[in-house]
Amino acid sequence: MSKVTHIGATYRGPSLHGQVVHELGARIAGGNYAPGTVLPSEEDLCVQLHVSRTALREAIKVLAAKGLLESRPRIGTRVRPITEWNQLDPDVLAWRCRTLPDARFIEQLAEMREIIEPAAAQLAARHRSDEQMAEIQDALARMGAARSIERWVEADVDFHRAVLSATGNALLMPLAALIGSTLESLLVLTASHAQDFRIALPDHARVSEAIRTRDTLAAGQAMALLLADSRRRLLPPPATEPPARASRRHRG
């Protein structure tokens, strides 16, 4: 079954269709329906979700396009393996982030950001306009003024989106939606792990200043440092081998 890529295509909002897509998607990403599991019958799902068969079938089509489901005659609708999900779909990323993601998934997201965002900061320092710089600085100011995690996260997401926008590279623009889908949930986790959710403000200020002064090298380095600090706050340190075991290995 071929996959359809929907980078940037999300199903948010108050519509019944969107609500069914998100409810089912969140259940699948959260493990309520494990990979390989056949979903309950249409009749049962309609009762559970309080929707019509038409709305349910449309939602299943959307989730199939995102790689989460496949329907087969006489078998039903089955959850596909995680490796076959469209991992770059903003909705899929958001669902996985919001359902207590495991350490490996968080690490993979951190790796993705570490590949993309330092280079984006360098491009922003080279190409940003005055208007784009003002957007970055405005987001930074709102981060500094935030008195709640919710306000901090909103401004932090805007900061990173503004940096991507300032690259001037149209091919990077879809990544703004992609990064935004992951950041909103991950930043809540990062901020909640810190005693002061504004602990990363100086790191963001260094990125902003390097972009303002068009220092490409410093911009990339500052963004890399920011992301490294974020990774350390989110992920536990790697387990170390007990000294006795290590010494026995070296004696051999």
Closest CA to 200 of 222, 216, 180, 218: 222
More confident residue, 193 or 204: 204
pLDDT at 189: 64
Q: What is the mean pLDDT of residues 90-101?
A: 78
Q: Which fold does the domain 16-84 belong to in CATH? A: Arc Repressor Mutant, subunit A (1.10.10)
Q: What angle do CA 93, 99, 102 make, to 5 degrees?
A: 85
Burial level of 191, CB count in 10 A (0-12/13-18/19+)?
A: buried
Give span(s): CATH 1.20.120.530, the chain: 101-234
pTM over 0.95: no
- Looking at residue 182, its pLDDT comes to 72
- pLDDT band for position 231 (50/70/90)? confident
Superfamily, domain 101-234: GntR ligand-binding domain-like (1.20.120.530)
Residues of the chain with CATH 1.10.10.10: 16-84
